[in-house]
Chain A
Amino acid sequence: MRHGRRRITWKGTALVVGAVTAGCALVTYLPQDKGVDTPFIVEGQVGETLDLTYAELTVTDVRVADTLTGFSEAAAAGGTFVVVDATWRATQGETSFLGAEITDRQGRRFWPTDLTGCSTSANAQPGYAWRTTYCFDVPRDALAGATVRLARGGQSEDHADQRRDAVAVIELGITPSEAETLWEAEETVVPEEPGYAPASAGGSEG
């Protein structure tokens, strides 16, 4: 007989505890994070035009410099500057390209500097190729085997803004022996200001 007050039953308790336990187990053990976070990596080489769906990207040149000089300033590297020239050609609409970093063989990541006219991001529309120069200050042992990662998704520690989006990873093509030579050479580079790309910088698709 009911008198308006419910009793706690073993059956109900087991139901609630079981449901909570099952939910925790699903969240903990299902590998859902990997599926949700992984970007679509498009790998390539210097000079190759990569299709990132939202843009065509070509890394046209990679240089190493001790010193960068610009319109009003000069910058000396703590290690050495890796200067990456790239052209972006947007394919859908006006797009900002915010992600740029170099990764070395040890997995260390180096973010770009905005010294002396170097860019840390780019913005372009369909209809033309836009030339951008990125500069990274890296230590000696980061040169050999390094890759550059460029994307529209923003630059952050966990690549949170690049989830489930196309990301370009390009081999810089620096071998260990070349790395020694590049490190010893004393080079000065004058980074170009961003602008329309000349035909020669358009990569394999012009």
Chain B
Amino acid sequence: MTTLVTPAVPGQGPGPGTGQGTPPGVAPSLRPGMLPGMIPPDDVVPRPRRSWGRRNAVWLVLLPIAIVVAAGASSFRVWAFWWPVGLHQEVDRVALGEPAHLAGEYYDMGFDVPERAETTVLREVDATVTSVEQVDALPAPSYGDPVAVPEGSVVYEVQVHFVAEPQTDLSGCQIALVAEDGTRYGESTTDALGSSNRCSTPDAEGFVSEQPEWDVTSFVLADPDAEITQVRLAFGGPEYVTFELP
């Protein structure tokens, strides 16, 4: 038989004169998890204690997920700042005289082709480095004063043949010579003559291609003792192609 109010301790019940020796609100004999007035279960069967792994199974599953999420959230600088700037992904590697396919997406501002403004565009260019030769002097630039070869420098003339759809964006073109020790010569978007449109012909008016095929010549300053082993072509990266010199 049960009652709704069951004093756990004699003398604990309501009424004057009770509570002597016991501070109010304290029930010393109550079992953990029991409040005054609760009915104690009379058929508690001790269950076998589960292992640590079983008790924490949910958290063990969530832990690797949390680690991946935390690492991804804190690595935003890699893809937001580091990866887009610089040449990090070699998409093709060929020998001198062979065509390489350079494909990569970029965000078009629409300066030359307004229809492409503020869209992500896939740029595809087939390029062939046909010649890399050391020359004695720099030719006259398209504009500005003639540039003399600085003391302590040598000049390489790099010739590249391009095939691409007309209206392909060619801004940010980099034609770099890589030496055996890893030094990168001429990786700037501006060449030794001051041209900042290195993948376009000298008479080009904008930064988009006008013909299906064309040739360009770019000049790069290098150290006299540099052993040039590669040419890299890119449009700001992160994708680039490598031409290995014999």
Please tell me which stretch of A15-23, A29-37, A123-131, A173-181 contacts chain B, meaning at least 4 of its Cβ atoms lie within 8 angstroms of it. Answer: A123-131
Chain B residues within 8 Å of A93, by CB: 183-184, 187
In the complex the two chains form, is A197's CB within 8 Å of B150's CB? yes
Q: Apart from A7-B32, A196-B153, A206-B151, what are 13 other A-B pairs with CB-CB below 8 Å?
A: A3-B31, A3-B33, A93-B187, A126-B222, A126-B226, A127-B220, A127-B221, A127-B222, A127-B223, A128-B150, A128-B153, A129-B150, A197-B151
Residues of A within 8 A of B240 (CB): none
- Contact surface of B with A, Cβ cutoff 8 Å: 31-34, 44, 46, 148, 150-154, 182-188, 220-223, 226
A206 vs B152: C-alpha distance when bound (angstroms): 7
A125 CB → nearest B CB, Å: 6
Counting from the closest, the 5 A-B pairs by CB-CB distance are A3-B33, A199-B151, A196-B150, A127-B221, A93-B184
B183 touches A128 (CB 8 A): no
Name which of A93, A126, A198 has the most chain B CB atoms within 10 A of its CB: A126
Residue A91 interfacial (CB < 8 Å) = yes
Which of B44, B46, B150, B182 has the most chain A CB atoms closer than 10 A to its own CB? B150
* A125 in contact with B152 (CB, 8 Å): no
Closest to A201 in B: B151
Chosen A-B contacts, 9 in total, with CB atoms closer than 8 Å, are A1-B32, A125-B188, A125-B221, A126-B223, A196-B153, A198-B151, A199-B152, A206-B151, A206-B152
Given contacts A1-B32, A3-B32, A126-B183, contact A94 B223 (CB under 8 A): no
User: In the bound complex, do residue A127 and residue B186 qualify as a contact, i.e. CB atoms below 8 Å apart?
Assistant: yes
Contact of A4 among B33, B152, B154, B182 (CB under 8 A): B33
**A3-B223 Cα distance, complex, nearest whole Å:** 79
CB-based nearest B residue for A5 = B33
Tell which of A5, A127, A198 has the most Cβ of chain B within 10 Å. A127
**Which chain A residues border B187 with CB–CB below 8 Å?**
93-94, 125
Q: Is A92 an interface residue (CB 8 A)?
A: yes
A1 vs B222: C-alpha distance when bound (angstroms): 80
Q: Which of B151, B183, B220, B223 contacts A92 (CB 8 A)?
A: B183
**Given the complex of chains A and B, what is the CA–CA distance between A1 and B221 in angstroms?**
82
Q: Which chain A residues lie closer than 8 Å to B154 at the CB level? A: 127
Set of chain A residues within 8 Å of B182, measured between Cβ atoms: 92
